[in-house]
Structure 1
Amino acid sequence: MNALRAALLLCSLGAATSAVAQGSPSLRGDLLSLAGCLRDSGASPSACIGTVAIACVGAASNNPRGAEAACARREEAAWRERLTLALQVTGRSLDAGQRSRLAAVQLAWESYVSQKCALYGASQREELQAGRQAGCELREVAERAIELAKGLSQAGRQPQSPPQIIR
């Protein structure tokens, strides 16, 4: 993959999700909920995974099992927005070759998550498949967004001592 294609991929991902956030009041609210949870969670951002989906399923008291997939996808959209922003910010500090590698890693990761969660969903009872697959995708996207955000916050820090080589 050349650098131009990688840059276009990263830009198109950002433009698409930003447009969704601007047009969706529920996504804006979900982003605010996640931001509040992440602010309050301190060093445990993973504790915020599922907060929007769980509240959404709880609000669907007439059919919670049927709401699982839609609620997981709703929260995944908010995490995906955060993931896209983290990718954009990360890409800004990289040269063309590194951006290309970042885009290749991200494409490989997307393929891995798709296959992993499809396999997991297919291994469930039929009535649980859609919800479990969507939940798997939610967790994976959230964990990737957290991982990239953590890398961004550590990017400016210098190690306290140089790495030691053990022989």
Structure 2
Amino acid sequence: MKNFLLSMGLAVLATASQADTKLPQSHLNSMACLENMGQSTSWGQCLSLIFEPCASFEVASKAHVACLQSEREGWTASMRLLQEDVTEAITMKSAEDLASILSGWINYVSQKCQADGDPEGNLPLAAKQLGCQITELAGLSGEYAACLEGRSTADYCVLKN
């Protein structure tokens, strides 16, 4: 499995935009896993890759939450790099469509990842919310990579000629 994901990550890297070359290899591997989910990978395998950097910590411990916060920052940076490249690569109309979609996506993620309970001082809740946010960022990053590589069927992904 690891060899397959490594080769998929390298394939993504070989055909991806300049922003992708700045992405951590672990993010490329995770996006490749998500891209192939249902064919040669599973959701569980992809989650293992996405959260591997934090796997050594006790779930919901302070160290685990700190690791997840760091991972969310890393995925946010990867998503933004890819988003910049997508915005430059797509038509003006597509960029307007993407901006509209993103405003809805931000609200969607906020609502989806908001768990019941009091987030102050509740480490299990914080870990759950961070995990949700990270998986959403990984998915969006993968979609951006697919757009840049010409594999996306999303309506917003109309590349300039």
- Give yes or no for the alignment of 1:138 onto 2:109: no
Rounded to whole Å, the distance in 1 between the matches of 2:47 and 2:134 is 8
Rounded to whole Å, the distance in 2 between the matches of 1:137 and 1:105 is 17
Q: Equivalent of 1:81, from 70, 77, 99?
A: 77
Mapped contact 2:30–2:46 kept (Cα < 8 A): yes
1:147 matched residue in structure 2 = 143
2:91 matched residue in structure 1 = 95
Bigger helix share: 1
1:67 matched residue in structure 2 = 63
CA spacing shift, 1:132–1:69, aligned 2, 3 Å: same
Q: Equivalent of 1:55, from 37, 53, 56?
A: 53
Structure 1's unaligned 5+ residue stretches are 1-17, 19-27, 157-167
Rounded to whole Å, the distance in 1 between the matches of 2:86 and 2:118 is 36
1:117 matched residue in structure 2 = 113
Rounded to whole Å, the distance in 1 between the matches of 2:32 and 2:137 is 20
Moved over 4 A (4+): 38-42, 44-50
Rounded to whole Å, the distance in 1 between the matches of 2:134 and 2:66 is 11
Rounded to whole Å, the distance in 2 between the matches of 1:66 and 1:144 is 27
1:2-59 deviation line (CA, Å, top 9, x unaligned): xxxxxxxxxxxxxxxx9xxxxxxxxx9x824434x3598584587454546443351x
The AA in structure 2 aligned to 1:73 is Q
CA spacing shift, 1:94–1:39, aligned 2, 3 Å: closer
Mapped contact 2:65–2:126 kept (Cα < 8 A): yes
CA positional deviation for 1:105: 1.0
Q: CA RMSD in A?
A: 3.5
1:118-142 deviation line (CA, Å, top 9, x unaligned): 1x35499x44111111111111111
Rounded to whole Å, the distance in 1 between the matches of 2:136 and 2:49 is 15
Mapped contact 2:79–2:141 kept (Cα < 8 A): yes
Mapped contact 1:121–1:130 kept (Cα < 8 A): no
- Give yes or no for the alignment of 1:34 onto 2:30: no
Higher Rg of the two aligned structures:
1
CA spacing shift, 1:78–1:85, aligned 2, 3 Å: same
TM-score by length of structure 2 reads 0.58
The AA in structure 1 aligned to 2:53 is A
TM-score by length of structure 1 reads 0.56
**Structure 2 residue matching 1:154: 3-state secondary structure:** coil
Structure 2's unaligned 5+ residue stretches are 1-18, 153-161
1:96-155 deviation line (CA, Å, top 9, x unaligned): 33212211211210121012101x35499x441111111111111111111221222225
> How many positions carry a matched residue from both structures?
125
Mapped contact 1:75–1:138 kept (Cα < 8 A): yes
